[in-house]
Structure 1
Amino acid sequence: MTLEEWIPQYLAAYKLGTIKDNSYDTLLHLADHIPQELKDRDLTEILPMHLQQFYNSFARQYSKSYMDKLRVFVGSLFVTAIDNGFCSRNPAAHLKIPRMIEKPRESFTMEEVRLILAFASCYEYQRTGVGIMTLLLTGIRRGELLGLKETDITDTTLTVNRAVFLSGNHVRVEEHLAKTEHSLRTVPLVPELAYRLRTLPHKGEYLFSTKSGTVLHPRNFNRDYDKFFRQLRETEPDVRHLSPHCCRHTFATLTRESGADLRVVMELLGHTDIKTTARYSHANLTSMETAVQHLRSSILSPVGQFLH
């Protein structure tokens, strides 16, 4: 059996229906990266050097985290192939991961955040402006933003109860399902943002819906996000055009710099890594409210209020 023949059988038997759709799509994308000349080989003919050459090439183009996903995927392919009698050894067992330096994650500076929020507060397209403000002032993910409903917002908090996923090119959203179990969380809101979210015009149950009231496709949000920054940079060219996910990094960085304990920041972001710390103690909502209010004070203090 060739590697190309085994991959879809492996995915159907071991992964389909056992992992989230977006995780399954990631495996499909990883499989697409495997060179055809490697896929054409019989499982018994693939040598460690063949896979090592592939790893070395892959590492020059992609991030360390993506490399780690590939390593786990390829290793599992061969372990299960052995279990099923398609080969007798695992050529991926003792491979060396090329030395990779993870690129630093970019985030906006405090001055950039002030300019972005000022522009967003009077931006003609409220859905986009309020969406960007929410990303910067809560640290939630894009998919979590697009899954927000009116019932998730109070005068003081935002609760992540769901997230929008892409399955292929189709939008999927389910109640009480986000990236990880810890992603379902409650985040404090600064008063100005809480007001904007509660009064945001929308149709249907989702706050950031389309004009017809359906779930907004993540790519369409990205399109609106890019348009926002193109217009902003016409008057403020020094503000960088970073990705939506960089708003999350910005929230983490600036909240930490504003004096929040790292454990509190991890709770705010809903990181899975907090589970290790959570064995000892949990940050409560009061601690998280303090962290967000410190961030608000840092943003507002030098220039006066602009989150009208």
Structure 2
Amino acid sequence: MKRRANGLGTAYKLTGNRARPWVARFPAGRDEFGRRKWITLGYYATKSEAEKALAVNLVQPVSEKHRITFKSLHDEWSEIHYKRVSRQAKYVYTGCYKLLEPLHSRVFCDLRTADFQRIIDGLSKSRSYKETVKVFMGLLYKYAMENDICHKNYAQFIKIEKAERKEIEIFTDAEIKKLFDNDTLLGADMTLMLIYSGFRIQEFLNLTVFSVDLENGVITGGLKTDSGKGRIVPIHPKTMKYWKRYVDDASDRLFAVDGKPLTQGRFRDKIYYPLLERLHIPKKTPHKCRDTFATLLARKGADTLAIQQLMGHTNYAFTANVYTAKDKDYLAQNLNRI
């Protein structure tokens, strides 16, 4: 073992055939018996790498927890972090941790981007979920760096493949006809109202009798963005009878069950999906009604500005500064193209 100046640490080579045989360690005081204590910085392929690590440690010294395992680091982090996040976030991060099980026993500071990349590439998960795993790793690294356990976030270099652009799935003309032909079935009228209004599902379920102006044939509602809130959507003639029926039967919320507002979960699981199954329509999320609305408008040549306004898209906020076409006749002319 080559001696170095006191306090600078030492680099020495292990015996045997190893990928990273060089060890870098530095002194950390003495134990209760007066013996010198050492902290191992890590294992390196070459002597120069080990000596460089020692030099960096002089400027940015690591803590005695430098050799903590992935599992132990996660346990420390989760005990603190999980007190500040929602139950859903805790559930998601726990799932990410389980997927990284092959790394649990490894020393955290010995891990490199390639270790994470191999696991990410082997996951049969969506691109967004893989991004979530990357975010989860970033949180662990943030905690590790805040506590001088390491000084570099190798998770930031993880590469996630680009998502394939998929054709938007919508209701076909034949499926829409099937809904009209069976509009007495539970949920068929609501599905058609969604398709011909473009409301997001929660916007739709939040509507009240005061949102619908049958005399002028318009609905006022919307959420999410400044341009989406309080937007005006004309009632399509094909769905007018459905809107009238719900207004006549409601006292406040248009869509209620046993006097209680209909929730997204109940609508999907008890009404919408059973309806599609009964009519042998391939399963689509309720949001596909909104996609169908936008597609039909574009297909029938509606003005881009009208589509933006009817959909309540954020980019309408800019065009509204130039154009002021928010009258119902203009929107109705475009809506009635479908």
TM-score normalized by the length of structure 1: 0.68
Between the two proteins, the alignment pairs up a number of residues equal to 259
Q: What does residue 310 of structure 2 align with?
A: 268
How far the C-alpha of 1:232 sits from its partner, in A, is: 2.5
Q: Which residue of 2 aligns with 1:136?
A: 195
Correspondence 1:29 to 2:92: yes
Partner of 1:57: 122
Q: Does 1:249 align with 2:283?
A: no
Deviates more, 1:84-93 or 1:269-278: 269-278
**2:254 maps to 1:207:** yes
Distance 2:140 2:245 in 1: 51
Output aligned runs, 1:287-302, within 5 Å: 287-295=330-338
Deviations for 1:244-296, whole angstroms, at most 9, x for unmatched residues? 2211111111111111234432332233455566676576344433321111x
Please report the RMSD computed on the Cα atoms of aligned residues, expressed in angstroms: 3.4
Structure 2 counterpart SS, 1:159: strand
Alignment correspondent of 2:218: 157
1:56 Cα offset (Å): 1.9
Query: Could you tell me the percent identity over the aligned residues?
Result: 24
1:302 aligns with none
User: Contact conserved, 2:96 with 2:133, CA < 8 A, in 1?
Assistant: no
**CA deviations over 1:213-234 (Å, ceiling 9, x no partner):** 112232321231122223333x
Give the CA deviation at 1:7: 4.7
Deviations 1:198-218 (A, max 9, x none): 3216566321111x2112232
Q: 2: distance between equivalents of 1:179 and 1:45? A: 44
- Cα gap change, 1:260/1:84 in structure 2, threshold over 3 Å: closer, same or farther? farther
Contact 2:199 2:311 in 1 (8 A): yes
Letter paired with 1:118 = D
What is the aligned counterpart of 2:229 among 184, 205, 218? 184
- Separation of aligned partners in 2, 1:275 and 1:70: 34
Q: Does 1:2 align with 2:73?
A: yes
Kindly state the Cα deviation for residue 72 of structure 1 after the two structures are TM-superposed: 4.8
Between the aligned partners of 2:78 and 2:323, the Cα distance in structure 1 is 43
Q: Which residue of 2 aligns with 1:229?
A: 276
In the alignment, which of 172, 183, 188 is matched to residue 109 of structure 1?
172
Structure 2 residue matching 1:107: 3-state secondary structure: coil
The CA distance in 2 between the partners of 1:135 and 1:153, in whole Å, is 14
In the superposition, the TM-score normalised over structure 2's length comes to 0.63
Q: Relative to 1, partners in 2 of residues 1:192 and 1:278: Cα closer, same or farther, differing over 3 Å? A: same
CA displacement at 1:109 relative to structure 2:
2.0
The structural deviation recorded for 1:98 is: 1.8
Distance 1:49 1:220, change over 3 A: same
Residues 291 and 32 from structure 1, CA distance in 2 versus in 1: closer, same or farther, beyond 3 angstroms? farther
Q: Distance in 1 between matches of 2:156 and 2:114?
A: 12
Larger Rg: 2
Give the strand-richer structure, 1 or 2: 2
Structure 2 spans left out of the alignment, 5+ residues:
1-71
Task: Specify which structure has the bigger relative contact order, considering alpha-carbon pairs within 8 angstroms and separated by 6 or more residues.
Answer: 1
Structure 1 runs (4+) deviating above 6 angstroms are 39-42
Q: Distance in 1 between matches of 2:75 and 2:228?
A: 35
Paired residue for 1:175?
A: none
Q: Secondary structure at the match of 1:138?
A: coil
